[in-house]
């Protein structure tokens, strides 16, 4: 893998991750850009004990531009984009409209009640462009290119985890307008949070208590149970297992676990990374075949926090979930889900697993 680091016109970092055979990339960004906002702030909800990020400047981010104005496509002599080069394999750059910034100063909020703490939204948000082909998708990448994306995630997990104040690194992909994606180019993001997120805290807390009772790892036993049952396993390989969780919250949900417990993406071996690329592409193609349409989804990596007392209870896995409950219907988070966090699903996990297994035949 070739790794080339440069800067955009406003000082944001951009990194090209290319196959060894790729040519030298154009690095100069000739644009004139406004400074990146440093106004992000966080407020602590004392009732739920959760941080909420305030990033009002994101209201002005680019929203569904025509393909000819896509900011994630390579630059041309007529139009300069976020990527100065005329081509790339995989590229990562700091978000122009970040929810978190290492330069965040936040605004003073004198009217906050005493129980609500406020801090600058210090962290980092990156965009990961999976390919220069605007009309592609992760599911259409070749295995060797998908492997390059995995190596990119590993690189960024390590680098972002070394930034001062970063507590958790979260690579993810939002796909499809129904999910809320505002740019159609195949891409994902990486958030480097200054705190451990609520979902991770809950999962690791449960895993810690489970270990105290049994001496075993919660995630490993969940995986072992699914592999032994087989009823919800979609596809498996030497190094990975993809299954529909028995208590899925979403109409379509698949989790991908390495068969060997590791804490984070950088800990995966070359063989595990190669195997993941093949199996993940298989899963994504099955998902698109489910309703004979590009399935909207969120693909979220769960990996160990950078530094946390419960870090060693983690188990790396990827959760792919979709709100598409039929070819023409979406699952909306209504009263029970939004008000109480109590999910109700209209689809049995066993039925989804069977349909996904059939989609690969």
Phi, psi of 52 (to 5 degrees): -120, 130
Write the DSSP symbol of residue 36: P
> Cβ–Cβ contacts within 10 Å for residue 37, how many?
17
Closest alpha carbon to 182 in 30, 265, 36, 59: 59
Residues paired with residue 242 on neighbouring β-strands, in sequence order: 235, 256
Residues paired with residue 320 on neighbouring β-strands, in sequence order: 254, 299
- How many angstroms from the chain centroid is the CA of residue 37? 23
Q: Are 46 and 126 in contact (CB under 8 A)?
A: no
Write the DSSP symbol of residue 241: E
The catalytic residue among 145, 187, 302, 317 is: 187
Tell me the C-alpha distance between 128 and 138, whole Å: 12
Residue 238: partners with Cβ closer than 8 Å, 6 or more residues away: 259, 271, 275
Q: Are 325 and 332 in contact (CB under 8 A)?
A: no
- Residue 185 known to be catalytic: no
Residues paired with residue 301 on neighbouring β-strands, in sequence order: 318
**347's tokens:** 């689809």
Closest alpha carbon to 88 in 127, 61, 57, 58: 127
Closest alpha carbon to 98 in 12, 6, 197, 185: 12
Alpha-carbon dihedral 48, 54, 60, 66, rounded to 10 degrees: -40
Instruction: Please identify every residue annotated as catalytic.
Output: 187
């Amino acid at each position: 893998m070739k790794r080339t680091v440069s800067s955009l016109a406003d000082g944001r970092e951009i990194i090209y991750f290319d196959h060894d055979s790729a040519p030298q990339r154009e690095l100069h960004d000739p644009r004139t850009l406004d400074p990146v906002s440093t106004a992000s702030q966080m407020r602590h909800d004392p009732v739920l004990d959760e941080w909420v990020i305030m990033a009002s400047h994101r209201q002005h981010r680019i929203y569904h531009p025509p393909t000819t104005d896509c900011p994630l496509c390579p630059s041309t002599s007529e139009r300069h984009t976020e990527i100065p080069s005329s081509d790339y394999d995989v590229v990562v750059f700091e978000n122009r409209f970040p929810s978190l910034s290492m330069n965040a100063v936040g605004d003073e909020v004198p009217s906050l009640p005493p129980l609500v703490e406020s801090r600058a939204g210090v962290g980092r948000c990156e965009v990961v462009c999976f390919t220069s082909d605007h009309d592609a998708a992760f599911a259409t990448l070749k295995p060797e290119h998908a492997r390059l994306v995995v190596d990119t995630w590993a690189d960024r997990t390590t680098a972002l985890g070394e930034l001062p104040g970063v507590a958790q690194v979260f690579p993810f992909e939002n796909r499809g307008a129904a999910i809320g994606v505002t740019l159609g180019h195949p891409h994902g993001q990486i958030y480097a949070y200054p705190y451990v997120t609520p979902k991770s805290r809950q999962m690791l807390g449960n895993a810690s208590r489970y270990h105290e009772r049994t001496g075993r790892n919660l995630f490993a036993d969940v995986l072992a149970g699914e592999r032994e049952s087989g009823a919800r396993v979609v596809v498996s390989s030497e190094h990975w297992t993809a299954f529909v969780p028995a208590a899925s919250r979403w109409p379509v949900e698949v989790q991908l676990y390495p068969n060997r417990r590791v804490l984070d993406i950088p800990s995966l071996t070359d063989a595990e990374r190669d195997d993941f690329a093949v199996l993940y592409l298989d899963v994504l193609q099955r998902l698109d075949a489910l309703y004979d349409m590009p399935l909207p989804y969120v693909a979220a990596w769960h990996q160990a926090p950078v530094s946390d007392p419960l870090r060693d209870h983690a188990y790396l896995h990827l959760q792919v979930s979709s709100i598409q409950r039929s070819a023409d219907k979406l699952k909306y988070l209504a009263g029970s889900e939004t008000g109480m966090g109590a999910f109700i699903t209209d689809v049995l996990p066993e039925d989804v697993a069977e349909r996904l297994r059939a989609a690969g035949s």
